[in-house]
């Protein structure tokens, strides 16, 4: 792979990951917040705590997506993303364990997403070492 192709792949990885976070946040807050409320309600989380969880999670997702686009402290951004995915995975495992075997893979998709984040992190680490 030549440098131009590699640069294009890294750029596509960043844009696709950013899109995923931003779209998930927008969906959580504006397009389908009832899904988040239903999941939380099934575990007994309702009222102001559910409101906070749905809106804070959505806002956090949008912030992460925008952070990727800025490329500011990108390695730290990658670490934060993996930590948040880990927290989301643990919480969903306790709140809605059936998501592990859901056909659309709401939890299992986290593993390839983490690999994509690791790719971006490693490319950033490599480019930092080249200077």
Q: With respect to residue 131, please indicate whether it lies within any of the assigned structural domains.
A: no
Q: With respect to residue 130, please indicate whether it lies within any of the assigned structural domains.
A: no
Which pLDDT belongs to residue 90?
96
* Number of structural domains the chain divides into: 1
Question: What digits encode the pLDDT tens for the residues 59-95?
Answer: 999 999 999 999 999 999 999 999 999 999 999 999 9
Checking if the pLDDT of 109 tops 80, the result is yes
Q: With respect to residue 47, please indicate whether it lies within any of the assigned structural domains.
A: yes
Report d(CA 115, CA 45) in Å as an integer.
Answer: 31
Q: With respect to residue 20, please indicate whether it lies within any of the assigned structural domains.
A: yes
Question: What digits encode the pLDDT tens for the residues 17-68?
Answer: 999 999 999 999 999 999 999 999 988 999 999 999 999 999 999 999 999 9
Which pLDDT belongs to residue 115?
97
Compute CA distances 76 → 55, 67, 72, whole Å.
23, 10, 9
Checking if the pLDDT of 129 tops 70, the result is no
Structural domain range at position 68 = 3-125
19-50 exposure pattern, b = at least 16 Cβ within 10 A, e = fewer:
ebbbebbeebbeeebeebbebbeeeebeeeeb
Q: With respect to residue 115, please indicate whether it lies within any of the assigned structural domains.
A: yes
Under 8 Å between Cβ of 42 and 95: yes
Which pLDDT belongs to residue 131?
43
pTM of the predicted structure, to 2 decimals: 0.90
Among residues 63, 59, 77, 62, which one has the least CA distance to residue 123? 77
Q: Alpha-carbon torsion 29, 30, 31, 33, what sign?
A: positive
Q: pLDDT grade, residue 4 (50/70/90)?
A: confident
Q: With respect to residue 11, please indicate whether it lies within any of the assigned structural domains.
A: yes
């Amino acid at each position: 792979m030549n440098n131009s192709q590699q640069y294009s792949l890294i750029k596509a990885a960043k844009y696709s990951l950013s899109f995923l976070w931003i779209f998930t946040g927008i969906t959580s807050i504006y397009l389908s917040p009832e899904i988040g409320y239903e999941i939380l309600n099934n575990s007994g989380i309702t009222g102001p705590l559910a409101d906070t969880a749905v809106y804070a999670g959505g806002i956090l997702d949008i912030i992460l997506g925008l952070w990727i686009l800025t490329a500011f402290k990108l390695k730290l951004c990658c670490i934060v993303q993996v930590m948040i995915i880990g927290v989301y995975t643990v919480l969903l495992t306790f709140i809605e364990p059936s998501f592990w075997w859901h056909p659309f893979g709401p939890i299992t998709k986290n593993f390839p997403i983490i690999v994509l984040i690791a790719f971006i992190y490693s490319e950033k680490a490599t480019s930092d070492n080249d200077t």
